[in-house]
Amino acid sequence: MEGLNYALAALTSLPVLVAAASGVMWGILGGALPGISPSIAMALLLPFTFDMTPLSAIVLLGATYIGAEYGGSIPAILIRTPGTNSAAATVIDGYTMHQQGRGGEALGLSLVGGTIGGLVGLIFLVLLTKPLASLALMFTPPAYFALGILGLSIIASLSEGSLVKGLIAGVAGLMLATIGTDPLSGVARFTFGNPDLLEGIHFIFIMLGVFAVAELMSKVTEREDPAMDGSVGKGTRLKLPSLKKLWQLRRAQAIGTGLGIAEGPIPGAGGTVAAFLAYNEAKRWSKTPEQFGKGSEEGVIAPEAANNAVTASALVPTLSFGIPGSNSMAILLGGFLIHGIQPGPLLLTSNPNLVYGLYGGLFLANILMFAFGVVILAPCIWLVNRPKPYLTAAIFVLVLSGIYSINHSLFDLGIVLATGVLGYVMRVLKFPALPLILGVVLGYMIESNYRRSLLITNGDHIVFFQNPVSLGLLICSGLIIVLALVTEVRRYRKVAAA
């Protein structure tokens, strides 16, 4: 009851209200800007939190995180450019729906699905903070390795038409992930003496290159039909899903929300892994899996529900143990430390007003995300209806300026352009891009935890089967691969029979 009073006090506090509104608005804009990740959007606000009260400062950062995770879906749907890493899964069916003249519907599904996922995730955060925190502590290096393998097994399900091409793309992603400094020995690998490669290639550069730049290159090579120019964009209007539609999509919504809640507390997993897992499982349990990749509504609402649910559940290890599981949570932890507050097991007893006030502020932020989302989508839809040559040039400038703003490095721009060429070649040769992205995202997790596990047992691989969590995850990975192989064999038999 005392916690509810703290939350209500936060909801009726003008400074907290202003902080939540400002954070959500900035987060949506930052997430929609390619190259500005949620953690960067939060980091830019840190200097402004010094003179704020602790609760207002933490709510400002948390609201920015919530807004940015949703904002990334706007360019993903409208211009096939994921504004955030987790929005890469939304590109698959969201952009296809936009091409079919259903962009407003896709935007509505993203907004409503993300709001529901965020609110449900917040409820679970409030009710299950301690149980989820104890679950996160069960993940040892062998379990993290198995989690990465589980993520890579999704390659088998996402590689339409050719399992071999999907595996090749996944291995290529793992190879890109090894560039940089060795995670254990500190030795430089595959840098060719270039100091810019010592920290590796950030996967946001590869994502923007493979998705955005490759798409721009494809648009340039396509002939523009004057009769069709702008016909899709002009008919685009925001269309919120009806209650009947939401009921029809309840399974995909539940899958996305559930996986977001489960993945959030696991350090290193985050919204990207949750979004891809949600997309994969929504497809697996869908009554119309053949529609995925062709404009499926379930393919939009599932990953959006997942990455917004993560914004709440990711707070569990940060608040309970002071262990940030992602860059965004590290920024939030910095916000606590700026005000002399150390998150950990004693936080709930020493600062209950701050914890429950944060819950109230995050609830307010999710509601404001829906309201601001409705308002800000109209100018975004108008923007995408501009003539294609102007829009293409503007997007290209936006991508490059966003990338340059991260490190002020021309080398980063070269990386994005190079991966753009790679993405274009893959598209021409019909190689799927998603396995490449997953390989890059999960590469560090897999390699570092694999080697740490072997150091513990002096090279004995039995450690992966002795740990019950890693054993369970590896079994799940094997089952996914077997099911994918069976599906591939059946597909070839149907083709041969036809």
The predicted pLDDT at position 225 comes to 45
Reduced 3-state DSSP string for the chain: CHHHHHHHHHHCCHHHHHHHHHHHHHHHHHHHCCCCCHHHHHHHHHHHHCCCCHHHHHHHHHHHHHHHHHHCHHHHHHHCCCCCHHHHHHHHHHHHHHHCCCHHHHHHHHHHHHHHHHHHHHHHHHHCHHHHHHHHHCCCHHHHHHHHHHHHHHHHHHCCCCHHHHHHHHHHHHHHHCCEECCCCCCEECCCCCHHHCCCCCHHHHHHHHHHHHHHHHHHHCCCCCCCCCHHHHCCCCCCCCHHHHHHCHHHHHHHHHHHHHHCCCCCCHHHHHHHHHHHHHHHHCCCHHHCCCCCCHHHHHHHHHHHHHHHHCHHHHHHHCCCCCHHHHHHHHHHHHCCCCCCCCHHHHCHHHHHHHHHHHHHHHHHHHHHHHHHHHHHHHHHCCCHHHHHHHHHHHHHHHHHHHHCCHHHHHHHHHHHHHHHHHHHCCCCCHHHHHHHHHHHHHHHHHHHHHHHCCCCCCHHHHCHHHHHHHHHHHHHHHHHHHHHHHHHHHHHHC
DSSP H or E stretch at residue 271: helix 270-285
Phi (first) and psi of residue 189, to 5 degrees: -130, 130
Low-confidence spans in the chain with pLDDT less than 50: 225-235
357 class by beta-carbon count within 10 Å (0-12 exposed, 13-18 middle, 19+ buried) = buried
The predicted pLDDT at position 253 comes to 92
Which runs of consecutive H residues, i.e. helices, occur in 342-387? 347-350, 352-384
**Could you tell me how far CA 303 lies from the centroid of its own chain?**
8
Task: For residues 2 and 204, give the distance between their C-alpha atoms in angstroms, rounded to a whole number.
Answer: 42
The predicted pLDDT at position 60 comes to 92
**Count: domains in the chain:** 1
The predicted pLDDT at position 315 comes to 84
**295-353 pLDDT, tens per residue?**
888 989 999 999 888 888 888 777 876 666 666 777 788 788 888 887 866 677 777 78
Q: Quick check: 239 and 297 in contact, CB under 8 A?
A: no
Task: For residues 251 and 492, give the distance between their C-alpha atoms in angstroms, rounded to a whole number.
Answer: 29
Q: Quick check: 111 and 129 in contact, CB under 8 A?
A: no
The predicted pLDDT at position 229 comes to 44
The predicted pLDDT at position 116 comes to 92
The predicted pLDDT at position 131 comes to 64
Task: For residues 55 and 256, give the distance between their C-alpha atoms in angstroms, rounded to a whole number.
Answer: 30
Please report the DSSP string for 407-463 in residue order.
H--HHHHHHHHHHHHHHHHHHHTT--SHHHHHHHHHHHHHHHHHHHHHHHTTT-TTH
> What 3-state class would DSSP assign to 198?
coil
The predicted pLDDT at position 310 comes to 87
The predicted pLDDT at position 227 comes to 37
The angle subtended at Cα 409 by Cα 407 and Cα 415, nearest 5°, is 105
Identify the domain containing residue 19 by its residue range: 2-497
Name which of 361, 312, 319, 368 is nearest 53 in CA terms.
361
